[in-house]
Amino acid sequence: MARIALKDVYKKYGAVEVLRDIDLDIADGEFIVLVGPSGCGKSTLLRMIAGLEPITGGEFTIDGERMNEIAPRDRDIAMVFQSYALYPHMDVGRNMGFSMEIRRSPAADRTERVAGAARTLGLDRLLDRLPKALSGGQRQRVAMGRAIIRDPRAFLFDEPLSNLDAALRVEMRLEIARLHQRLAATMIYVTHDQVEALTLADRIVVLEGGIIQQVGTPLDLYERPANRFVAQFIGSPTMNILPAERSDNGIAIRGGPTLDLPGIGGTGEVANLGVRPEHIDITAPGQGDLTGVADVVEHLGSDTNIYVDVQGVGPVMVRARGNVPVKPRESVGLRLLREHAHVFASDGVALRA
Amino acid sequence: MAVLRKPSPLRVAGKYGALAFYVAFALFPLYWLLKIALTPDQLIYSEGTKLWPGAATLENFRIVLFQSDFLAYFRNSVFVSLTTAAATTLIAAGAGYAFSRFHFRGKRALVAVMLVTQMFPLLMIIAPIYKIVAAIGLLNSLTSLIIVYTAFNIPFATFLMQSFFDGIPKDLEEAAMMDGCTRFQALRKVIVPLTLPGLGATLGFVFTAAWSELLFALMLINSNDTMTFPVGLLTFVSKFSVDWGQMMAAGVLALVPSCLFFVFIQRYLVQGLTSGAVKG
Ligand SMILES: Nc1ncnc2c1ncn2[C@@H]1O[C@H](COP(=O)(O)OP(=O)(O)OP(=O)(O)O)[C@@H](O)[C@H]1O
Ligand SMILES: [Mg+2]
């Protein structure tokens, strides 16, 4: 059981505030992914939960118990470091069993659990090796083994896969997903990688400039981003943002047509219209909402990315399913899917019915 | 693909020739030391600079070992050097760790002061040191030497140790603390084993420095009982003559502990102990 709660937590280095107004409730067994651009405070937040970084203000509790002043070793939380941080002078077995060694668990017990974890992670044959004689993927597994052997209340991961190559990353991602299903433990996971975030998370926390921008399920963030930052950060390729304003019969794209967007509520000033590349259809020139000239066309097999220059509006990116026979410098029409359009105020906040 | 060709024999010969020349150059004084130590007294002047002595004898060693105070000097030196090395390394390791891992007020000032102490020539401060030692009544004691040597070696040893600690990723002790260690346990179980090369190097450095120190030993020690070996060597210089053979024999013997010490710590000086800790 581990319900983790952060209330009004903030962090200052001297006068510099790197995290502000962090309010977060994490349910037992939930998989939370922290994403955000470099330097937004993801690692700092994770390290504060681990106890490696003092919390400047606010309250952090696990199962209702205040943790702010508790030493890392008494929080019963395991952490997997980006650098793996394996003890170089200990073999794989001792690395994994180190936490039990420190807690003076009986040797037989320790051997058994190490063997069990090694079997799960496919490390049985490597128990006598030193870390320097392991590949990157194997080190990564040892680091995970070291965490799971303790059976902690919660797991923290700081970009655990960022040092692996693409294929291995996919494999380890699945392994982490399986691990979460099997252990049903609370996990907090920091990553740069959208795919990791969208595939692993029960809920995603988007951080920017030390502030939580939005918390929600992957689908929530994709379909109902709270603001322009989240809209552009989640989803790949990134959402098209077109300058626009409210007019009598809908939303007018600056330099383009006016779209009637039923369901766009409020009366607030509108500054931008956002449409994801996959929510634009290619039509014959002159039909649809906009007409432009294809600039670059990328054929990915399953999809086609088309960068279209729209006179008076600017560049618009389109992602079409399948192989679309558009050639560079060809004129194309674009139809924006109304039900997937987003509207943002000048301060970036999304406007909704 | 480039084929690795066998280097020409000429190049190999040249390389080894150069190495051999360097080794010969570096070791020649040691050879001379040994040669004179083994040359019978009456041949030293008559044979002059002949490379190979006409006859060899262990007489000089016998005299040095059994008929002079050399063993006492030697014992004093071993005691002073070992204690200095141990004390300095212990303090320097603690200070180096703090410099490497903690931020605290006055850290920069402290570093600056430590650097300043390294800037003065020893000759300048020898008189004040003498007065201080005399005032606390430690003249002619080995303790005074240990204190002075330790004090003088700490700054450099601290910087040395700090650089070794800096080389160990912080993640390692954080991982250890997550695994259930206190900071001190993390230090003992994870950091210290990885710092053994650094500790070895620092011990060796301080030991050698203390072992061969002459200036302070000369100033602070007068009595024969507490003379260290470098001062003791000077007793082979009498008013009218120099006992070259015995002096060199003593010198050869003095090399023994240094050599032993380095053989002993040599295995801790192996590099690359931290490889594999973090992403490689
Ligand atoms: N010891 C420190 N003193 C001052 N500022 C710091 C310190 N450590 C981190 N910061 C600042 O805090 C901010 C957040 O850093 P953090 O490491 O949490 O970012 P991050 O989101 O993990 O970035 P990345 O994705 O690059 O790992 C950064 O702007 C950084 O400059
Ligand atoms: Mg980070």
Q: Evaluate whether residue A336 is within a structural domain.
A: yes
Q: Which residues of A touch B180 (CB under 8 A)?
A: 73, 99, 102-103
Task: Please report the pLDDT score of residue A242 as a whole number.
Answer: 94
> In this structure, are A188 and A146 located in the same domain?
yes
> In this structure, are A130 and A269 located in the same domain?
no
Sequence-ordered list of residues with C-beta below 8 angstroms from that of B195, at least 6 positions apart, any chain: B93, B161, B164, B165, B168
Low-confidence ranges of chain B (pLDDT < 70): 1-4, 48, 239, 267-280
Beta carbons within 10 angstroms of residue A137's beta carbon: 18
Average pLDDT over all residues of chain A: 93
Q: Distance between CA atoms of A326 and B279, rounded to whole angstroms? A: 45
- Is A132's CB within 8 Å of B275's CB? yes
The pair of three-digit structure tokens given for residue B151, joined into one six-digit string: 């004090």
Sequence-ordered list of residues with C-beta below 8 angstroms from that of B239, at least 6 positions apart, any chain: none
Maximal CA-CA distance, chain B = 75
> In this structure, are A64 and A119 located in the same domain?
yes
Local confidence band at A353 (pLDDT 50, 70, 90 cut-offs): low
**Contact assessment for residue A327 and residue A319, using Cβ atoms and an 8 Å cutoff:** no
Cβ of residue A42 lying under 6 Å from some atom of ligand 1: yes
> Which CATH number goes with the domain that contains A287?
2.40.50.140
Å from CA of A11 to ligand 2 middle: 15
> In this structure, are A37 and A145 located in the same domain?
yes
> In this structure, are A86 and A209 located in the same domain?
yes
> In this structure, are A275 and A211 located in the same domain?
no
> In this structure, are A181 and A72 located in the same domain?
yes
> In this structure, are A207 and A159 located in the same domain?
yes
Q: How many CA atoms lie within 13 A of B253 on its CB side?
A: 27
Signed CA dihedral, B231, B235, B238, B239: sign only: positive
Local confidence band at A64 (pLDDT 50, 70, 90 cut-offs): very high
**DSSP of B196-233, one letter per residue?**
HHHHHHHHHHHHHHHHT--HHHHHH--SGGG--HHHHH
Residue bearing the CA closest to ligand 1, atom 22: A43
Percent of chain A scoring above 90 in pLDDT: 82
Write the Ramachandran bin of A263: left for phi over 0, alpha for psi from -120 to 50, otherwise beta: left
- Choose the residue to mutate in A42, A83, A161, A207 for probing ligand 1, maximizing ligand atoms within 8 Å of C-beta: A42
Beta bridge partners of A79: A156
**Contact assessment for residue B87 and residue B158, using Cβ atoms and an 8 Å cutoff:** no
Q: Using CA atoms in the order A127, A132, A135, A139, what is the torsion angle rounded to 10 degrees?
A: 60
Task: Please report the pLDDT score of residue A93 as a whole number.
Answer: 96
What's the whole-model pTM score? 0.83
Fold of the domain built from segment(s) B69-275: MetI-like fold (1.10.3720)
Task: Please report the pLDDT score of residue A266 as a whole number.
Answer: 67
Q: Evaluate whether residue A280 is within a structural domain.
A: yes
Question: Considering its fold, how many domains does chain A have in total?
Answer: 2
Cβ of residue A265 lying under 6 Å from some atom of ligand 1: no
Classify residue A141 by burial, with Cβ atoms within 10 Å: 0-12, 13-18, 19+.
Answer: buried
pLDDT digits (tens, 9 = 90+) for B13-27: 999 999 999 999 999
Mean pLDDT, range A241-255, rounded to an integer: 89
> In this structure, are A143 and A90 located in the same domain?
yes
> In this structure, are A154 and A261 located in the same domain?
no
Q: Evaluate whether residue A231 is within a structural domain.
A: no
Task: Please report the pLDDT score of residue A265 as a whole number.
Answer: 63
Write the Ramachandran bin of A291: left for phi over 0, alpha for psi from -120 to 50, otherwise beta: beta
> In this structure, are A144 and A43 located in the same domain?
yes
pLDDT digits (tens, 9 = 90+) for A286-307: 898 999 999 999 999 999 999 9
Q: Evaluate whether residue A66 is within a structural domain.
A: yes
The DSSP H or E segment spanning B86 is helix B70-101
> In this structure, are A190 and A255 located in the same domain?
no
Boundary-marking domain end, from A194, A226, A258: A226
Residue range of the domain that includes A342: 237-351
Boundary-marking domain end, from A181, A206, A226: A226
Task: Please report the pLDDT score of residue A161 as a whole number.
Answer: 92
- Where exactly does CATH 1.10.3720.10 map onto chain B? 69-275
Q: Evaluate whether residue A249 is within a structural domain.
A: yes
Q: Which residues of B touch A131 (CB under 8 A)?
A: 276-277
Nearest to B177 among A72, A136, A150 (CB): A72
pLDDT digits (tens, 9 = 90+) for A155-188: 999 999 988 888 889 999 999 999 999 999 999 9
Q: Distance between CA atoms of A292 and A315, rounded to whole angstroms? A: 9
Percent of chain A scoring above 70 in pLDDT: 98
> Which CATH number goes with the domain that contains A89?
3.40.50.300
**DSSP of A142-166, one letter per residue?**
HHHHHHHTT--SEEEEESTTTTS-H
Q: Evaluate whether residue A96 is within a structural domain.
A: yes
